[in-house]
Structure 1
Amino acid sequence: MLLLGDMSRAPRTLYVHGFNRMDFSLWHSAITLAAATDGRALGDQQLTKNGVPIIVDSCIAFVTQYGLCQEGVYQTPGDPARVSLLLEEFTRDARNVKLRNKEHQLENVTDTLKSFLSQTEDALLTKELYPYWVSALGM
C-alpha cells in the first residue's frame, strides 16, 4: 500500500499489482525514486502531513527531546563528515531517517538543521511577512 496525493488534501491509497515479483520491484523502485527529494527549494522536500520538511521536523523533535536543557545547543559545532552524511541521508530518503540518541550526537543534528536551512533556495521569511516579523521583535 502506498499513500499518494497533495498533502493539503486527504491522502489517497494506490494499490500496485504486478504480474510477478519483478514487475512489483520495478514499480516500487520507480515510485521510491520519484518520492525522493529533487531540489533545494522547500517545496521540493519530502514533507510531513502538516507541510513541514521532514528534515526540519525530525531535527527539531530530536533537539526538543535531548537538547533543550543544554546551554548553547545550536552553537556547538558538529563533525562535518557526520553532518554531511546525515544531510545526504535526509536528501536520499527523509522518511526513513530515524534520529536516535545513541546513534546521533546533538551537535551533529543541530548542524544538519542549520546546514539544510542555509542551503534552501527559498527565503524562510518572505518579504510580504517581513514587516510583521520586525514588529514582533519590538514585543
Structure 2
Amino acid sequence: MDFAGWLGSIQKAAASLGDTLSDQQLGDSDIPVIVYRCVGYITQCGLTSEGISRKSGQTLKTQQLLESLRQDAHSVHLKEGEQHVDNISSALKRFLRDLPDGLFTGAQHLFWLEASEIEDEEEKVSRYRGLLVHLPPVNQATVKALISHLYCD
C-alpha cells in the first residue's frame, strides 16, 4: 500500500510540470526527454523515409503517444515496429507547436521574425546567433539538437 502511494507520487512528480521547455522532464543535455526520444527514434528508424517532417501521422495514435510522453517521457520506450515514424514525427511537431511560449520564446518572437526577413545571409546569421544567445539554456540546447537532427535529415 505504501509502495503504491510512493509510486504514484513519483510518477506525478516526473510528469511535465508546465508550459515551457524548462518545465519538461530534462535529459542529461538539458534537452526535454520528449524531444530527445522522438529525434532519436526518427534518426534511427526514419532517415530513409521521404518527407517525414512534412507527413502527418495518424491523429489518434499521435495524440496517445504525446499524452504518454507528457505523463512520463522517461518510461516511454519507442521501439521500431511498434510505432510508425510518421506518428513520432507528428508527436514531436505537435509538442513544439503546443508550447505556449514557443521554442524561441514569445518575448523575442518579433525579433526572430525581423531576422528572417533580412536578405543579406551574413547579417541574417549574425542576427540569429545574437538571438540564440538570449534564449534560456534549455531552449538553446533544444534548438541545437533540432538543427543537428534536421541537418542529418
Matched residue, 2:10: 31
- Partner residue in 2 for 1:40: 19
Question: 1:100 maps to what in 2?
Answer: 79
Q: Given the alignment, which residue of 97, 100, 105 partners 1:121?
A: 100
Instruction: Map 1:13-24 onto structure 2 (within 5 A).
Output: 22-24=1-3
* Counterpart for residue 12 of structure 1: none
Deviation at 1:88, TM superposition (A): 0.6
Alpha-carbon separation, structure 2, partners of 1:37 and 1:107: 23
| 1:61 pairs with 2:50 | no
Q: Percent identity?
A: 35
Residue of structure 2 aligned with 1:72, choices 51, 74, 78: 51
Q: How far apart, in 2, do the equivalents of 1:137 and 1:84 lie?
A: 38
Amino acid at match of 1:103: E
**Match among 109, 113, 125 for residue 88 of structure 2:** 109
Contact persistence 1:42–1:121 (CA under 8 A): no
CA contact (8 A) 2:96 2:102 kept: no
How far 1:27 sits from its partner (Å)?
Answer: 2.5
**Structure with max Cα Rg:** 1
CA distance in 2, matches of 1:38, 1:108: 24
Looking at secondary structure, tell me which structure has more helix per residue. Answer: 2
What count of residue pairs does the alignment treat as equivalent? 117
Structure with the higher fraction of residues in strand conformation: 1
Correspondence 1:50 to 2:39: no
2: CA distance, partners of 1:137 / 1:90:
35
Q: CA RMSD in A?
A: 2.4
TM-aligned CA distance change 1:124 to 1:97, over 3 Å: same
Higher relative contact order (CA 8 A, sep 6+): 2
Partners of 2:52 and 2:3 lie apart in 1 by: 45
